[in-house]
Structure 1
Amino acid sequence: MYADDDVERQIRAELSRVVDSARSRRSLSEHAERGDDDVTRRHLSELGILEAMLPDEPGRTGGRLRHVLAAVEEAAVGLVAPDLLPSALALWTGLAASWPGITQGEILSGPTTVAWPGVLAGAESVRRAAEDGSVTGRLGYVPGGLSAQHMVLVLPDPSGAVVSLVALDKARREPLQVLDRSRPAAVVELPSATTRELGRLSPADLTRLRSGWLAAIAADCLGGMRAAHDAAVGYARQRTAFGRSIGSFQAVRHRCADMFVDVETTRAVVRGAIAAVDEGGEDAPALSLAAASHAMDAFCRVAESSILVHGALGFTYECDAHFYARRAYSNAAWLGGVNALRAELATV
């Protein structure tokens, strides 16, 4: 585990301001579904959040996954910036391929998504032509696919995988009906799309890449958990029953305490995984699997408990608690799901 450095503290402070000034969760979800949350997107672009992941250059601090995942975590608190996680995964993937063009901002110029058939994307069939590198196929689940201008695509080959940048200007996109409306997704069909090879990844590179993906989804879970827990505690303090705050009742107190334990244990394991990935530690694959599986499970528990603490109000659409439950259940299905990740962890 590590303490925030100056860059992270600044990122968290800026994202907290974005969350505090955001519209209601319901309004954010409606804008996200339409892919037109331009205010938040422009604000994050001005802050240069993704640039924090770039390698150090003269006059620039960056090159660490932890800086961008601090932003991912804070964005999840308010369920803002639906493009941030897929764009961060795309940039991390491009960096894994040692793509020099990233530093010139080719990914950073607009919303970018990512697909990795067999890991994330629900690919039914994707083929890469050996002659010109064009890609044809159908991707059944692409987060941020409605608004993305480019896609970073990971396709296996005999030596590991090839990473390509795909222009989505001619792609056919169909909105998906997803549980988490604050993070829209699409079916994307690529009719012989033009690609540019960014680099090739060895099996060891792929392992580190996936560890970063797992740490990212765990950070997203942590942010949502924090918000769900804070909302429950805040409501328990202000809501009264039988002349006393409901937070004074033992059952409610214990449930809030259990939520707090889930949040803090998740914070510890997520930070440990991020540090291991950044440092290239041998334990990074195991720690990232542990972090993701624990965070997914704990987020579901905390989101459900938040609904229960809110009582009858928690089961209504007017209460924000259900938005976090939607994010929790959706995250729990990413990258194979909790059970698959734990089964894999047992073999590491």
Structure 2
Amino acid sequence: MRLIPTEEQRDLAAAVRAFLADHAPMAEVRRVAESDASYDARLWERLSGELGLAGLIVPEEYGGSGAGHADLAAALEELGAALTPSPLLATVLATGALLASGDGAAARDLLPGIASGATVATFTVPVPGDPCARLRDGALHGTAPRVLNGADAGLVVVAAATGEGDSPLGLFAVEGDAAGLTRTPLNVLDLTRPQARLDFDGVPARRIGPGDAGEAVARALDLAAVALAAEQLGGMRRCLDAIVEYAKLRVQFGRYVGSFQGVKHRLADMHCVLEQAEAVARHAAWAADEAPGELPVAAAFAQSYLGRAYFQVARDHLLLHGGIGFTWEHDAHLYYKRAKGDELLLGAPRHHRARLAERLGLLV
């Protein structure tokens, strides 16, 4: 098991970090988040073209780089740290679902456009308790209530029930401009991560993979958990770095606030949470590449831990800034909102804990 990033992964992370610092500083993040656009199309073109992030895990035969999930995690960690509004995570989720389906024809048709960045794709994550689209009379009906970049995606990979009742899930590819598809942008807490409600009213769809795609959907969800964990880890690290620097500079009662015992203890706790989160996230990325048998447990553990951990660190990051941390002009609230949004993005923490317990054989 290798949990330490390779030299190539460190180089990739450094390249992404430098690019975002130059082209997507926090002022630009705020501008895009407060505009009508979901993301900067020019920035996305450069992320996909110059850095090749959209096709990082796409096999070379389909126009991608053929890299591993640990490599992808190195890049996503930097985007999570910078809060960059981009459709990369949504596209990664869709790519994972397409690859998990094992459908070679669909991969040949759909992945080259995704790898080049020309096609923005997304995946309707089946969250427990949410309504689910259904296949009836050869078309999709129903609702996907919260879909990442759902209003902008040119391709939607839909996890839908293949019949009535407790019928198995299937995977379907839907064009963004398909007849009967209504896309409604949502007012969300995290303005850097747009979501939309998708309503299907007899939408024509292409089936991907087998009729019962339950195993493919499960793997796609596990890969989504790994990718999200990498972004969460990056956000946690940025929060801790920022508050440590602040504690070194801020003076109260004639002393640097970092010298106060209560502040030092809180920072130490945040550091411990970050170190544990890094081990969990890197193990999940390693399992996605090297140990598929361990992935179900590692992925469930990643979201069971990272969701609450990121929110805890982001909350303390905001509180330790004092009054300034509560102002709109400060960046602390942006990380706080991203942390809470990420905690619920793939389902509430209790769902991940239940999935983890089931996979560990603890449920009877």
Under a length normalisation based on structure 2, what TM-score does the superposition of the two structures give? 0.86
Match of residue 93, structure 1, among 97, 101, 116: 97
2:264 counterpart of 1:260: no
Residue by residue, what CA displacement relative to the aligned partner does 1:158-189 show, whole Å, maximum 9, x if unpaired?
89532221101143221211111110111122
From 152, 155, 158, the equivalent of 1:150 is 155
Give 1:205's aligned residue. 216
1:76 aligns with 2:80: yes
**68-77 or 308-317, larger mean C-alpha shift:** 68-77
Which residue of structure 1 aligns with residue 173 of structure 2? Answer: 165
The alignment status of 1:242 with 2:253, answered yes or no, reads: yes
Query: 1:114 maps to which residue?
Result: 123
Give me the whole-angstrom Cα distance separating, in 2, the residues matched to 1:93 and 1:241. 52
Which residue of structure 2 aligns with residue 180 of structure 1? 190
Q: What residue is the counterpart of 1:214 in the other structure?
A: 225
CA distance in 1, matches of 2:141, 2:62: 40
Could you give the per-residue CA deviations for residues 187-233 of structure 1, whole angstroms, max 9, x where no partner exists?
Answer: 12233223222212654434322221221222221111111111111
Q: Is the 8 A contact 1:164 1:195 kept in 2?
A: yes
SS in 2 for 1:105: helix
SS in 1 for 2:55: helix
1:34 aligns with 2:37: yes
- Length-normalised TM-score, structure 1: 0.90
Distance 2:61 2:267 in 1: 45
TM-superposed deviation, 1:118: 4.0
> Can you give the 5+ residue segments of structure 2 that lack an aligned partner in the other structure?
360-364
AA of the residue aligned to 1:87: T
Q: Quick check: 2:134–2:162 contact (8 Å CA) kept in 1?
A: no
Distance 1:59 1:87 in 2: 15
Q: Aligned letter for 1:198?
A: I
Moved more, 13-22 or 302-311: 13-22
Shift of 1:14: 2.5
Query: Distance between the aligned counterparts of 2:113 and 2:47, measured in 1?
Result: 16
> Size of the alignment, in residue pairs?
343
Q: Comparing 60-69 with 329-338, which one deviates more in the overlay?
A: 60-69
Percent identity between matched residues is 32
Whole-angstrom CA distance in 2 between matches of 1:331 and 1:309: 22
Q: Which moved more, 1:174-183 or 1:152-161?
A: 152-161
Q: Larger deviation: 264-273 or 98-107?
A: 98-107
- The question of 1:227 aligning with 2:238 is answered yes
Give deviations 1:286-319, integer Å, cap 9, x for gaps: 1211111110111111001101111110011111
Distance in 1 of aligned mates of 2:160 and 2:8: 34
Contact 1:276/1:284, CA 8 A, preserved across alignment: yes
Gaps of 5+ in 1: none
Distance in structure 1 (CA, Å) of the matches to 2:122 and 2:287? 25
**Alpha-carbon distance in 2 for matches of 1:202, 1:146:** 25
CA contact (8 A) 1:126 1:139 kept: yes
Q: 2-side partners of 1:196 and 1:322: how far apart? A: 41
Kindly indicate whether residue 303 of structure 2 is the aligned counterpart of residue 295 of structure 1: no
Counterpart contact for 1:145–1:187, Cα < 8 Å: yes
- Which residue identity does 1:43 align to in structure 2? R
Structure 1 residues 6 and 128: CA distance shift in structure 2, 3 A: farther
**SS in structure 2 of the partner of residue 322 of structure 1:** helix
Number of the residue aligned with 1:127: 134
Work out whether residues 82 and 184 of structure 1, in 8 Å CA contact, stay in contact via their aligned partners in 2.
no
One-letter amino acid of the structure 1 residue matched with residue 169 of structure 2: A
Counterpart position of 2:284: 273
Determine if the alignment matches structure 1 residue 191 to structure 2 residue 186: no
Does structure 2 conserve the Cα–Cα contact (< 8 Å) formed by 1:40 and 1:80?
Answer: no
| Cα distance in structure 2, aligned partners of 1:40 and 1:61 | 20
Evaluate the alpha carbon distance shift between residue 197 and residue 6 of structure 1 in structure 2; reply closer, same or farther with a 3 A threshold: farther
1:297-347 C-alpha deviation (Å, 9 max, x unpaired): 111110011011111100111110111110111111122211221133222
Return closer, same or farther for 1:212/1:54 CA change in 2, 3 Å cut-off.
same
SS in 1 for 2:84: coil
Deviates more, 1:46-55 or 1:102-111: 102-111
The answer (yes or no) to whether the contact 2:55–2:63 under 8 Å persists in 1 is no
Counterparts of 2:7 and 2:62, CA distance in 1: 18
Moved more, 221-230 or 202-211: 202-211
Does 1:105 pair with 2:112? yes
RMSD: 2.4
Contact 2:161 2:170 in 1 (8 A): yes
Distance 1:119 1:74 in 2: 29
The separation in 2 between residues aligned to 1:96 and 1:280, in whole angstroms, is 15
